[in-house]
Chain A
Amino acid sequence: MSLRVENLTVYYQTLHGDVRALESADFAIEDGEIMGLAGESGCGKTTLGNSLIRLTPPMKYIQGKVELDGEKLPIWDMEKMNAFRYKEISIIPQYAMSALNPTRKIGKMVSELLESRKVETKTIMPELKRRLDLVELSREVLGLYPIELSGGMKQRMVMVLSTLLDPSLLIADEITSALDVSTQKAVAEMLVEFRDREFVKSMIVITHDISILYQIADSIMVMYAGQLAEKASTDVIMSSPKHPYTKLLISSLPKIGVKYAEQKLAGIPGKPPLLLDPPTGCRFRERCALAFEKCVQDPPFLEVEEDHYVACWEVFEKHA
């Protein structure tokens, strides 16, 4: 599978004007790649994830091209996307586990979902049961109500459901945030296992928790204020980030073994710009110590080293 996104721009319509939530996103994901999408709240990562599969109002498609396995995805057309949704591209939305209908037994919900996608429940049931075993959910879970399941169980159920038809691309939006530490590890490792067993070819794992990405992602893409900042393999991002924002972000993360008394970590002064009327060019320039005149122009997302993309004029200067 391969995903190519070119110049994707999506805004939100609000009473006060258009919120420029995603600006000119340009990236690619290869077969078998688990890409982590990291960034702070409001950076546009959920917008990016949602726009690939479910571009509903108040989101507004402005421009851009998305190609999945060489085929153009009509993301602006909700009806045409029906053919792709759940079969080629699937999503585990944020708060999915709290969105289970409390009055429906799990099994009923599953069959309703499959029928709405024109899939015969009977034919797929053996596979469903096999997958439940894989994620260590007992088959009785199909006869329970959501309230009888723990958070981890619900999350695993949702994971099985979203990948039942073996989509090429899975988008997992903050699926570990509300879980306990132990369940987080199990769920994250399950994601990797799904990829290893080829239930899913590639994944976009959206989260603000970079430590989880360090554990399971092959590559990490960092976003800031609606723009892509940097993308590289996990090891490279953690050990030698190039974008000023990425550098500050990585260095502000507390690690076990680091105490305040010995090594005081620094945050990033200031706050992200409001996307209703963001600054022109690089949106990080107002907080960036290295900003110079060229930064008022939009920096393109370029490959400065092999498989290492950055959008920063200062970095381009260094590599020029």
Chain B
Amino acid sequence: MLKLENVSKVYKVGTFGGKELCAVNDVSFEIGNGEVVSLIGESGSGKSTIGKMILRLLPETAGVITADGVDISTLEGAKLKDYYRNVQGVFQDPFSSYNPIFKADRIFRIVREEFFPQVGDAEWTVKLHKALEDVGLNPKHILNKYPHQLSGGQLQRLLIARALLLDIQFLVADEIISMLDASTRIDVLNLLADLKSRGLSILFITHDLSLAYYISERAVILYRGCIVEMGATEKVYHNPLHPYTQMLMASVPRLDKKWEEVKVDLKEKYTEITKGCVYYDRCSIAEKDEACTSERPALLEVEPDHFVACCKL
């Protein structure tokens, strides 16, 4: 349903815009109908940038993003609005997503004004109440309140309800759980999984590996803007092949076993990588050599639905 082909995002930084910062580097993957794909990466991996590009909040520098075959960068005006009927996003900080001086349900009013101007009051109320109930909220407790009177979990669910009102097919969920409490996290996660079973495709952007495992069929591991490994979630988690993925899996604090005695190479300040493998500096593979620094490794399928980008495998 949504496909990214060789998408890159390059920023001009430094004084007088001399240097370039490559936030997203030649990324390609796709998300099918009713599929949940996790985009996993640490800070600086470019995962949020990809999310914003899909949502047309940032233009891509290179490559093409297509939704059902249509290049989204060509959409303007009414066509862009149609795109937003199908694709919506929810972000990390629930409190920042609401204009603090207005009531929380203003977001629904805006949706109504922009997308459903002809719908009558009674019909709209029914639609709204159904959407709220679908996300597990009681309209009586939610409507007519300011954002600071509601909890983070409720606000996030309101945003999901807003997306549901539009009857979307694709949701970009950018770290939507990270600012919620443990007890509400699982509720919002379960909600997303429920919606998936009703046909919604989700791009689940996160840095938390256990959440990604819980909910997604496929996982894409990002490092410094490049995909290093991707495939079916079980395969990537239980048989990580790329040294970065292996390091991630070893560093995740798990609840069933203690950390192994694996030395972790800490990331120092950002160093520029112009060519070659982005993970070279921290790579612990014994066989790494000049081949790794001369060209970027391509994503190769090592087993069905399991791709790795490492020239030493």
Contacts and interface: CB of A to CB of B under 8 A. Distances in A.
B259 interface: yes
Interface stretch (A48-56, A146-154, A198-206): A146-154
Given A184-B253, A189-B259, A254-B214, A153 B268 contact: yes
A267 B264 contact: no
Contact of A181 (B181, B251, B255, B269): B251
B256 A252 contact: no
Interface string B233-249: 10001000000000110
A188 B258 CA distance: 12
Does more than half of chain A's interface fall in helix, strand or loop, or is it mixed? loop
Interface stretch (B59-67, B97-105, B204-212): B204-212
A215 interface: yes
Contact of B181 (A40, A259, A264): A40
Contacts of A208: 181-182
B187 interface: yes
Contacts of B254: 211, 214, 255-256
A214 B266 contact: no
A185 B253 contact: yes
Interface in B170-215: 181-187, 189-190, 193, 207, 209-211, 213-215
A55 B207 CA distance: 35
Interface residues of A, number: 44
A264 B209 CA distance: 17
Contacts of A253: 182, 186, 210, 255
Interface in A252-271: 252-261, 264-268, 271
Interface string A159-199: 00000000000000000000011111110110000000000
Interface string A133-150: 000100000000000111
B184 A185 contact: no
Contacts of B215: 259-260
Given A211-B255, A254-B211, A260-B215, A186 B266 contact: yes
A255 B184 contact: no
A238 interface: yes
B140 interface: no
A40 B266 contact: no
Contact of A256 (B153, B181, B252): B252
B74 interface: no
A249 B183 contact: yes
Contacts of A184: 251, 253
B154 to A, nearest CB: 8
A13 interface: no
Interface string B248-290: 1001111110110000111111100000000000000000000
Contacts of A181: 42, 207, 209, 248, 251-252
A151 B237 CA distance: 26
A41 B269 contact: no
B79 to A, nearest CB: 35
A88 interface: no
Contact of B253 (A211, A258, A261, A267): A211
A212 B253 contact: yes
B43 interface: yes
A209 to B, nearest CB: 7
Contacts of A215: 253, 258-259
Contacts of B233: 259
**Interface size, B (range):** 35 or more
Given A181-B209, A254-B214, A150 B255 contact: no
B151 interface: yes
B182 A238 contact: no
Contacts of B266: 136, 152-153, 182-183, 186
A256 B267 contact: no
Contacts of A271: 151, 153, 184
A267 B183 contact: yes
A35 interface: no
A118 B85 CA distance: 64
Contacts of A267: 183-187, 190
B255 A214 contact: yes
Contacts of A214: 253-255, 258
Nearest to A38: B182
Interface in A82-103: none
A210 interface: yes
Contacts of B189: 254, 260, 265
Nearest to A150: B269
Contacts of B42: 180-182
A248 interface: yes
Interface string B152-171: 01000000000000000000
A189 B250 CA distance: 13
Contacts of B211: 254
A149 B256 CA distance: 34
13 contacts: A152-B267, A153-B266, A182-B247, A183-B264, A214-B254, A215-B258, A253-B182, A253-B210, A256-B209, A258-B214, A260-B215, A265-B189, A267-B190
Interface of A: 40-41, 136, 148-153, 180-186, 188-189, 208-212, 214-215, 238, 248-249, 252-261, 264-268, 271
Give me the 10 closest cross-chain CB pairs, A-B, nearest first: A211-B253, A180-B42, A40-B181, A268-B183, A267-B187, A267-B186, A185-B251, A254-B214, A260-B193, A254-B210
Given A182-B266, A253-B186, A255-B256, 16 more contacts: A40-B181, A149-B269, A150-B268, A181-B251, A182-B42, A183-B264, A208-B182, A209-B253, A210-B255, A249-B182, A252-B183, A253-B210, A254-B185, A255-B254, A256-B252, A257-B213
